[in-house]
Amino acid sequence: MLVPLRLPCIFTKCSVSEVRRADCGRQPEAEQQPAGEALGRDTRTVSPNLRLRVGCVFTFDVPGPSFALIQVAARRGESPRVLEETWQLQPEAEITSFTDLYGNLNRRAVLGLGPARLRYDAQVEVPDVADDMAEDAGQIPVEALPGEVTHFLLPSRYCLSDALMGTAWELFGTTTPGWARAQAISDWVNGHLAFRYGASDRLTTAVDAFERKEGVCRDFTHLFITFCRALNLPARYVFGYLPDIYVEPPDAPMDFAAWAEVYLGDRWWTFDPRNNRRRVGRVVIGRGRDAADVSMVTTWGPATFKSLEVWADLNPTKAVDFAGTPTTGPRT
Protein backbone atom coordinates (compact mmCIF):
# COMPACT_ATOMS: atom_id res chain seq x y z
CA MET A 1 0.00 0.00 0.00
CA LEU A 2 1.31 3.43 -0.89
CA VAL A 3 1.81 5.78 2.03
CA PRO A 4 1.44 9.49 1.19
CA LEU A 5 4.64 11.42 1.81
CA ARG A 6 4.44 14.33 4.20
CA LEU A 7 5.63 17.80 3.43
CA PRO A 8 9.41 17.99 3.28
CA CYS A 9 11.26 18.35 6.56
CA ILE A 10 14.30 20.53 5.88
CA PHE A 11 17.33 20.33 8.18
CA THR A 12 18.74 23.63 7.00
CA LYS A 13 22.00 24.64 8.61
CA CYS A 14 21.21 26.29 11.91
CA SER A 15 17.48 25.84 11.38
CA VAL A 16 16.49 23.26 13.99
CA SER A 17 16.27 25.19 17.22
CA GLU A 18 15.69 22.16 19.43
CA VAL A 19 18.93 20.53 18.32
CA ARG A 20 21.84 22.59 19.65
CA ARG A 21 24.47 21.07 17.40
CA ALA A 22 22.34 21.82 14.37
CA ASP A 23 22.40 25.50 15.24
CA CYS A 24 25.72 26.03 13.44
CA GLY A 25 28.73 27.83 14.62
CA ARG A 26 29.31 26.06 17.96
CA GLN A 27 31.30 29.01 19.26
CA PRO A 28 30.22 30.20 22.70
CA GLU A 29 29.19 33.81 23.04
CA ALA A 30 32.27 35.92 22.38
CA GLU A 31 33.43 39.51 22.46
CA GLN A 32 33.22 41.50 19.25
CA GLN A 33 36.21 40.84 17.04
CA PRO A 34 38.17 43.77 15.59
CA ALA A 35 37.70 44.41 11.90
CA GLY A 36 38.70 41.38 9.86
CA GLU A 37 41.30 40.35 12.44
CA ALA A 38 44.09 38.24 10.97
CA LEU A 39 44.98 34.94 12.55
CA GLY A 40 47.83 34.50 14.95
CA ARG A 41 50.36 32.16 13.38
CA ASP A 42 52.41 29.32 14.78
CA THR A 43 56.08 30.26 14.65
CA ARG A 44 57.07 26.72 13.69
CA THR A 45 57.68 25.82 10.08
CA VAL A 46 54.47 24.63 8.42
CA SER A 47 53.85 22.92 5.11
CA PRO A 48 52.04 24.80 2.31
CA ASN A 49 49.08 22.44 2.70
CA LEU A 50 47.25 20.91 5.63
CA ARG A 51 45.42 17.60 5.72
CA LEU A 52 42.03 17.53 7.41
CA ARG A 53 39.46 14.92 8.22
CA VAL A 54 35.89 16.18 7.89
CA GLY A 55 32.54 14.47 8.10
CA CYS A 56 29.32 13.88 9.95
CA VAL A 57 26.82 11.29 11.17
CA PHE A 58 23.05 11.79 11.09
CA THR A 59 20.63 9.40 12.77
CA PHE A 60 16.90 9.16 12.10
CA ASP A 61 13.92 7.15 13.23
CA VAL A 62 12.09 6.01 10.07
CA PRO A 63 8.62 4.51 10.69
CA GLY A 64 7.56 4.71 7.04
CA PRO A 65 8.85 5.36 3.50
CA SER A 66 11.07 8.45 3.51
CA PHE A 67 13.14 10.04 0.76
CA ALA A 68 16.17 12.16 1.59
CA LEU A 69 18.22 14.80 -0.23
CA ILE A 70 21.66 15.12 1.33
CA GLN A 71 24.26 17.88 1.05
CA VAL A 72 27.18 17.30 3.42
CA ALA A 73 30.14 16.44 1.16
CA ALA A 74 33.14 18.66 0.53
CA ARG A 75 32.57 20.52 -2.73
CA ARG A 76 34.85 19.25 -5.49
CA GLY A 77 36.58 21.18 -8.25
CA GLU A 78 38.17 23.79 -6.00
CA SER A 79 40.19 24.08 -2.82
CA PRO A 80 40.15 21.96 -0.74
CA ARG A 81 41.29 18.92 -2.66
CA VAL A 82 39.34 15.79 -1.72
CA LEU A 83 41.80 12.94 -1.17
CA GLU A 84 39.45 10.25 0.10
CA GLU A 85 35.71 10.11 0.59
CA THR A 86 33.38 7.50 2.08
CA TRP A 87 29.59 7.28 2.28
CA GLN A 88 27.74 4.78 4.48
CA LEU A 89 24.02 4.35 4.99
CA GLN A 90 22.31 1.89 7.32
CA PRO A 91 20.07 0.12 6.49
CA GLU A 92 21.95 -0.17 3.21
CA ALA A 93 20.40 1.64 0.25
CA GLU A 94 21.53 3.05 -3.05
CA ILE A 95 22.91 6.60 -2.92
CA THR A 96 22.75 8.55 -6.19
CA SER A 97 23.83 12.10 -6.97
CA PHE A 98 22.95 15.18 -9.03
CA THR A 99 24.19 18.77 -9.34
CA ASP A 100 21.75 21.54 -8.43
CA LEU A 101 21.26 25.02 -9.92
CA TYR A 102 24.14 26.44 -7.87
CA GLY A 103 26.68 23.78 -8.76
CA ASN A 104 26.28 21.93 -5.45
CA LEU A 105 26.54 18.15 -5.55
CA ASN A 106 23.55 16.58 -3.81
CA ARG A 107 22.99 12.95 -2.89
CA ARG A 108 19.63 11.23 -2.62
CA ALA A 109 18.48 8.00 -1.05
CA VAL A 110 15.42 6.23 0.31
CA LEU A 111 15.89 5.67 4.04
CA GLY A 112 15.22 2.15 5.29
CA LEU A 113 12.63 1.50 7.99
CA GLY A 114 13.70 1.60 11.62
CA PRO A 115 16.75 3.37 13.00
CA ALA A 116 18.68 4.91 10.08
CA ARG A 117 22.25 6.18 10.15
CA LEU A 118 23.97 8.24 7.46
CA ARG A 119 27.73 8.74 7.68
CA TYR A 120 30.05 10.84 5.50
CA ASP A 121 33.81 10.87 6.06
CA ALA A 122 36.54 12.49 3.97
CA GLN A 123 40.17 13.45 4.04
CA VAL A 124 40.92 16.74 2.30
CA GLU A 125 43.91 18.96 1.70
CA VAL A 126 43.67 22.72 2.24
CA PRO A 127 46.20 25.55 1.83
CA ASP A 128 47.91 26.62 5.05
CA VAL A 129 46.86 30.23 4.52
CA ALA A 130 44.04 32.36 5.86
CA ASP A 131 41.14 33.62 3.73
CA ASP A 132 42.23 35.97 0.96
CA MET A 133 41.70 39.67 1.49
CA ALA A 134 42.09 42.76 -0.70
CA GLU A 135 41.24 46.04 0.94
CA ASP A 136 41.43 47.80 -2.43
CA ALA A 137 38.78 45.54 -4.02
CA GLY A 138 36.11 47.84 -5.40
CA GLN A 139 32.35 47.66 -5.73
CA ILE A 140 31.19 47.09 -9.31
CA PRO A 141 28.24 49.13 -10.62
CA VAL A 142 25.17 46.94 -11.05
CA GLU A 143 25.09 47.49 -14.81
CA ALA A 144 28.68 46.21 -15.10
CA LEU A 145 28.21 43.02 -13.07
CA PRO A 146 28.35 39.61 -14.81
CA GLY A 147 24.84 38.38 -15.50
CA GLU A 148 25.17 35.31 -13.30
CA VAL A 149 26.16 37.50 -10.34
CA THR A 150 23.15 39.86 -10.41
CA HIS A 151 20.98 37.00 -9.11
CA PHE A 152 22.67 37.51 -5.73
CA LEU A 153 21.41 41.09 -5.46
CA LEU A 154 17.78 39.97 -5.10
CA PRO A 155 15.83 39.34 -1.88
CA SER A 156 15.49 35.66 -0.94
CA ARG A 157 13.65 33.45 1.56
CA TYR A 158 15.72 34.48 4.60
CA CYS A 159 17.52 37.58 3.28
CA LEU A 160 14.82 40.24 2.94
CA SER A 161 17.02 43.00 1.59
CA ASP A 162 14.04 45.05 0.45
CA ALA A 163 12.68 45.15 4.01
CA LEU A 164 15.98 46.43 5.48
CA MET A 165 17.07 48.64 2.60
CA GLY A 166 16.40 51.91 4.42
CA THR A 167 18.20 50.68 7.52
CA ALA A 168 21.17 49.54 5.46
CA TRP A 169 21.62 52.94 3.85
CA GLU A 170 21.23 54.71 7.20
CA LEU A 171 23.92 52.53 8.78
CA PHE A 172 26.39 52.13 5.92
CA GLY A 173 25.50 54.68 3.25
CA THR A 174 28.49 56.88 4.10
CA THR A 175 31.05 54.06 4.06
CA THR A 176 33.44 53.71 1.13
CA PRO A 177 31.93 51.36 -1.50
CA GLY A 178 33.84 48.11 -1.89
CA TRP A 179 35.85 46.15 0.64
CA ALA A 180 35.56 48.81 3.33
CA ARG A 181 31.77 48.75 3.11
CA ALA A 182 31.56 44.96 3.28
CA GLN A 183 33.92 44.91 6.25
CA ALA A 184 31.93 47.64 7.99
CA ILE A 185 28.80 45.50 7.62
CA SER A 186 30.61 42.46 9.02
CA ASP A 187 31.91 44.48 11.97
CA TRP A 188 28.44 45.84 12.72
CA VAL A 189 26.66 42.48 12.50
CA ASN A 190 29.33 40.88 14.69
CA GLY A 191 28.75 43.55 17.33
CA HIS A 192 24.96 43.85 17.02
CA LEU A 193 24.02 40.17 17.35
CA ALA A 194 24.69 38.09 20.44
CA PHE A 195 25.47 34.45 19.69
CA ARG A 196 22.99 32.19 21.48
CA TYR A 197 22.06 28.60 20.77
CA GLY A 198 18.32 28.17 20.29
CA ALA A 199 17.80 31.84 19.47
CA SER A 200 16.34 31.02 16.06
CA ASP A 201 14.56 28.29 14.17
CA ARG A 202 13.87 27.31 10.55
CA LEU A 203 11.48 30.26 10.13
CA THR A 204 13.81 32.99 11.43
CA THR A 205 14.73 35.61 8.82
CA ALA A 206 17.41 38.28 8.80
CA VAL A 207 14.75 40.81 9.81
CA ASP A 208 13.88 38.69 12.85
CA ALA A 209 17.54 38.40 13.86
CA PHE A 210 18.02 42.15 13.41
CA GLU A 211 15.08 42.91 15.69
CA ARG A 212 15.92 40.28 18.33
CA LYS A 213 19.65 41.13 18.33
CA GLU A 214 20.65 37.49 18.73
CA GLY A 215 21.07 34.35 16.71
CA VAL A 216 23.42 31.62 15.55
CA CYS A 217 25.94 31.78 12.74
CA ARG A 218 23.26 31.27 10.11
CA ASP A 219 21.52 34.43 11.36
CA PHE A 220 24.76 36.44 11.41
CA THR A 221 25.32 35.39 7.80
CA HIS A 222 21.76 36.11 6.68
CA LEU A 223 21.81 39.61 8.18
CA PHE A 224 25.20 40.37 6.62
CA ILE A 225 23.98 39.19 3.19
CA THR A 226 20.77 41.20 3.54
CA PHE A 227 22.62 44.46 4.19
CA CYS A 228 25.08 43.78 1.36
CA ARG A 229 22.31 43.21 -1.18
CA ALA A 230 20.44 46.29 0.03
CA LEU A 231 23.60 48.27 -0.80
CA ASN A 232 23.98 46.67 -4.25
CA LEU A 233 26.76 44.33 -3.16
CA PRO A 234 26.18 40.81 -4.55
CA ALA A 235 26.38 38.34 -1.65
CA ARG A 236 25.75 34.62 -1.32
CA TYR A 237 25.44 32.10 1.50
CA VAL A 238 28.09 29.43 2.10
CA PHE A 239 28.16 26.56 4.54
CA GLY A 240 30.74 23.91 5.27
CA TYR A 241 33.30 22.63 7.74
CA LEU A 242 35.52 25.03 9.70
CA PRO A 243 38.26 23.41 11.81
CA ASP A 244 39.91 25.17 14.74
CA ILE A 245 43.26 26.00 13.12
CA TYR A 246 45.35 28.75 14.75
CA VAL A 247 42.44 29.60 17.04
CA GLU A 248 41.55 28.51 20.56
CA PRO A 249 39.00 25.65 20.34
CA PRO A 250 35.73 26.56 22.05
CA ASP A 251 34.29 24.37 24.76
CA ALA A 252 31.52 23.04 22.55
CA PRO A 253 31.06 20.15 20.11
CA MET A 254 32.20 20.63 16.52
CA ASP A 255 29.44 21.70 14.14
CA PHE A 256 28.91 22.89 10.60
CA ALA A 257 29.60 26.58 9.95
CA ALA A 258 28.02 29.30 7.82
CA TRP A 259 29.66 32.34 6.25
CA ALA A 260 29.22 34.59 3.21
CA GLU A 261 30.92 35.53 -0.03
CA VAL A 262 30.75 39.02 -1.55
CA TYR A 263 31.49 39.86 -5.19
CA LEU A 264 34.07 42.66 -5.37
CA GLY A 265 36.32 43.55 -8.30
CA ASP A 266 36.25 40.44 -10.47
CA ARG A 267 35.75 37.64 -7.94
CA TRP A 268 34.03 36.38 -4.79
CA TRP A 269 35.60 37.08 -1.38
CA THR A 270 34.96 35.36 1.96
CA PHE A 271 33.44 37.31 4.87
CA ASP A 272 32.58 35.68 8.19
CA PRO A 273 30.40 38.00 10.31
CA ARG A 274 30.11 35.46 13.12
CA ASN A 275 33.86 35.14 13.74
CA ASN A 276 34.82 38.38 11.94
CA ARG A 277 38.31 37.18 11.17
CA ARG A 278 40.25 35.52 8.36
CA ARG A 279 40.44 31.78 9.03
CA VAL A 280 42.45 28.80 7.76
CA GLY A 281 40.90 25.55 6.54
CA ARG A 282 37.40 26.35 5.32
CA VAL A 283 35.89 23.36 3.51
CA VAL A 284 32.94 24.46 1.40
CA ILE A 285 29.95 22.13 1.10
CA GLY A 286 27.45 24.34 -0.68
CA ARG A 287 26.56 27.83 -1.85
CA GLY A 288 23.23 29.50 -2.54
CA ARG A 289 21.04 32.54 -2.01
CA ASP A 290 20.55 31.65 1.66
CA ALA A 291 20.26 28.61 3.93
CA ALA A 292 17.17 27.35 2.09
CA ASP A 293 19.34 26.47 -0.92
CA VAL A 294 21.91 24.48 1.04
CA SER A 295 20.03 22.40 3.58
CA MET A 296 22.09 19.54 5.00
CA VAL A 297 19.31 16.97 4.78
CA THR A 298 15.79 17.36 3.43
CA THR A 299 13.34 14.48 3.95
CA TRP A 300 9.93 13.67 2.52
CA GLY A 301 8.02 11.23 4.69
CA PRO A 302 7.70 10.44 8.41
CA ALA A 303 11.45 10.22 9.16
CA THR A 304 12.32 11.94 12.45
CA PHE A 305 15.74 13.52 13.00
CA LYS A 306 17.43 12.11 16.11
CA SER A 307 21.05 13.24 16.34
CA LEU A 308 24.00 14.84 14.55
CA GLU A 309 27.75 14.57 15.03
CA VAL A 310 30.26 16.65 13.03
CA TRP A 311 34.04 16.52 12.84
CA ALA A 312 36.66 18.78 11.24
CA ASP A 313 40.09 17.82 12.51
CA LEU A 314 43.69 18.61 11.65
CA ASN A 315 46.06 15.65 11.13
CA PRO A 316 43.26 13.07 10.78
CA THR A 317 43.47 9.49 11.87
CA LYS A 318 42.34 6.65 9.63
CA ALA A 319 38.60 6.70 9.08
CA VAL A 320 36.59 3.79 10.46
CA ASP A 321 33.21 2.39 9.54
CA PHE A 322 30.30 1.52 11.82
CA ALA A 323 31.97 -1.67 13.01
CA GLY A 324 35.26 0.04 13.78
CA THR A 325 36.94 -1.37 10.67
CA PRO A 326 39.18 0.90 8.53
CA THR A 327 37.36 2.03 5.42
CA THR A 328 38.77 1.17 2.01
CA GLY A 329 37.45 3.96 -0.16
CA PRO A 330 34.43 5.92 -1.29
CA ARG A 331 31.06 4.41 -1.96
CA THR A 332 28.58 6.51 -3.89
- Cβ-Cβ contacts under 8 Å for 74 (sequence gap 6 or more): 54, 80, 82, 85, 122, 124, 240, 241, 283, 284, 285
User: Is the pLDDT score of 140 beyond 90?
Assistant: yes
- Cβ-Cβ contacts under 8 Å for 310 (sequence gap 6 or more): 21, 55, 56, 241, 253, 254, 255, 256
Max intra-chain CA distance, the chain: 65
Q: What is the pLDDT of residue 315?
A: 72
User: How does pLDDT run across 160-187, given as a tens digit for each residue?
Assistant: 999 999 999 999 999 999 999 999 999 9
In this structure, the answer to whether residues 216 and 118 fall within a common structural domain is no
Exposed, middle or buried: residue 180 (CB in 10 Å: 0-12, 13-18, 19+)?
Answer: middle
For residue 18, give the CATH number of its domain.
2.60.40.2250
297: pLDDT confidence band, cut at 50, 70 and 90?
very high
- The total number of structural domains in the chain stands at 2
In this structure, the answer to whether residues 28 and 99 fall within a common structural domain is yes
Per the structure, the complete domain to which residue 68 belongs is given by 10-39+50-127+294-314
Nearest to 120 by CA among 157, 139, 101, 95: 95
Q: φ, ψ for residue 90 (rounded to 5)?
A: -125, 135
Q: φ, ψ for residue 276 (rounded to 5)?
A: 55, 45
For residue 184, give the CATH number of its domain.
3.10.620.30
pTM of the model: 0.84
97: pLDDT confidence band, cut at 50, 70 and 90?
very high
